[in-house]
Each structure stands twice: as structure tokens, then as C-alpha cells.
Amino acid sequence: MKAVAITGATSGIGLETARLLAREGFCVLLAGRCAERLSRAKARILSESPSARVACFQADLMQQREVLRAAAEMNAYLDAHCGGRLHALINNAGCVRSWYMTTEEGYEQQFALNHLSGFLLTHKLLPALLKSNGRVIMTGSASHKGIKIRWDDVMLRRRYNPLTAYKQSKLCNILFARGLNDRFAPGLRAYVVDPGLVKTDIGNKETGALVHFIWSLRKRGGVPPEIPAETFAYLCLKEPPPDGLYYYRCREKKYSKEVTRENADRLFALSERLCGLDGGFAAQDERAGAV
């Protein structure tokens, strides 16, 4: 049974993708912040797919110690039940903020959760992914276009704008996917899904009154999360793996000219340093090869 791990899996796009893949026979590893919501998500999946294998991993992925703990628990589960193999990792967890907020490490929260959490989790699950010629999929956004990485102040400490922070984190998602493909394809393939405007609560969680109000109005024009979930499922199921990078409604889409190898390499080096990775992805790749 192939395994797929999904972060931000208790609602919205994450849950709908988990439901689709469970129906396709995948072993589904759900990661989320709230134990109660994880239990509800698992119960819903099993009510629809009684024979599905579903495992839950509670973690606040904004904090790196929680990412490390969740990764260790996932690896132990994969070793015990899936031959140490992970077919796909879907880095879907994300947030929007109204003001400057930081993690335990002192990192701006949108950058930390939307980018660094997936970067670190992918690093820790890389041997399992490489063992199965797996796939890594990020939840992106068209908002990554028309912006550049603020390399001299990536946390935007000097002049914080929450929308700029969000857009930058989405550019990081696609640069990360580009960097993974540069390093590991065809042994591993990485993608970004542009879900479009979706009826989810991302703009209503831990945001100020203005952002909450605007998002409540804006999301009314969005599609239900089942629609973008189909693209995630497509990228997990398609054989052989598609060659593209950025997808919308199961089709390749153009992306920012900022998505270059130079920028991807620069982001990799910065992210490895911010995550305290000794030897970075190269060292993890060598350990995977020794399995």
C-alpha cells in the first residue's frame, strides 16, 4: 500500500485530498495542530472508505521542534507499516497573518509555516521519499508572481507588510520545488499546485478583524476545496510522474521569472541555515542512498 503524508489535513484542501487518495487505496498520514480535528478527519475518511489505513500526527508545524518530532513519528510509522517508503508528501499547511508575529526561533510566522516547515519536514522524510521515487507537492498561489525575495531582510523585520510576507512565502514554495528537482529528479519529483481562490478558512484563523472580514467576503467567490484537491490527486496518481513544475486544474501553468536555479540554490542555503541542518539535503541524500 502506497503512503502519502499531508500537512494541514484537518480541513479544506488537505482533508479533501486525503479523502480522494484514501478512496484510491493510499495509506494516508494526516498531520494537523488539533487532536480533536484530526480525529474527526480520520473518522470522516473511514466512514467513506472503511478499509483505508489512516494515521494521525498532531504537531504545531510552525515550531521546528514540532516538525522534528512529527517527522520522527512518521518515519517510525512508515518503517513499521509501509516498508520505509513514502510515495508523496503534500506540504499544505499554511497561514495568513495581519501583523508581525514570530515563532520560538524568532522567525516570521508566515515564512516559518508556509515555507520552512515544509522544507524541514521534506528533509527529514527524504530517505523514505527517495526509496519510493516519491513526489513532494506544495500548495502554492498565483500571488508568488510580481514579487522578489527580500534577501537582505527575508523576515521583513524592518518594514513588515503581511501581504508581502505571504506572497514571498509562496515564491519560496516554488523555488523550493525547483531546487528539489534540480537536486533529485528523476529520483524524486516536486510540484506546486495553484489552487486558485478557494472557500477555506485560511484568512479567518488568527487574523485581525479587517483581514477576517475581507477574507470572509472574498472566499464566497472561491471554488470548493474538492476542486484543487483533484490536482493534488492527479500529481500523486499520474504515471509516469509529470515533468512540469507548476499546476492548476491538472494542467501546467506559467510561473514567475524569479524561479531560477540561482534563486533556488540561494533559498536552499538560507533555509538549511535557518533550520540548523548539518550538511543539508546533500548529506540526507547520501544517507538515503545507504538504505
- Residue 207 belongs to some domain of the structure: no
- What is the domain count for the chain? 1
- Residue 251 belongs to some domain of the structure: yes
- Residue 210 belongs to some domain of the structure: no
Which residues form the catalytic set? 166
- Residue 208 belongs to some domain of the structure: no
pLDDT tens, residue by residue, 36-81: 999 999 999 999 999 999 999 999 999 999 999 999 999 999 999 9
Structural domain harbouring 26: 3-197+224-289
Q: HEC profile for the chain?
A: CCEEEEECCCCHHHHHHHHHHHHCCCEEEEEECCHHHHHHHHHHHHHHCCCCCEEEEECCCCCHHHHHHHHHHHHHHHHHHCCCCCCEEEECCCCCCCCCCECCCCCEHHHHHHHHHHHHHHHHHHHHHHHCCCEEEEECCHHHCCCCCCCCCCCCCCCCCHHHHHHHHHHHHHHHHHHHHHHHCCCCEEEEECCCCECCCHHHCCCCHHHHHHHHHHHHHCECCHHHHHHHHHHHHCCCCCCCCEEECCEECCCCCCCCHHHHHHHHHHHHHHCCCCCHHHHHHHHHHCC
The pTM assigned to this predicted structure is 0.90
pLDDT band, residue 196 (cuts 50/70/90): confident
- Residue 61 belongs to some domain of the structure: yes
- Residue 233 belongs to some domain of the structure: yes
Domain at 13, CATH number: 3.40.50.720
- Residue 216 belongs to some domain of the structure: no
pLDDT tens, residue by residue, 207-266: 455 444 444 445 455 678 899 999 999 999 999 999 999 999 999 999 999 999 999 999
- Residue 80 belongs to some domain of the structure: yes
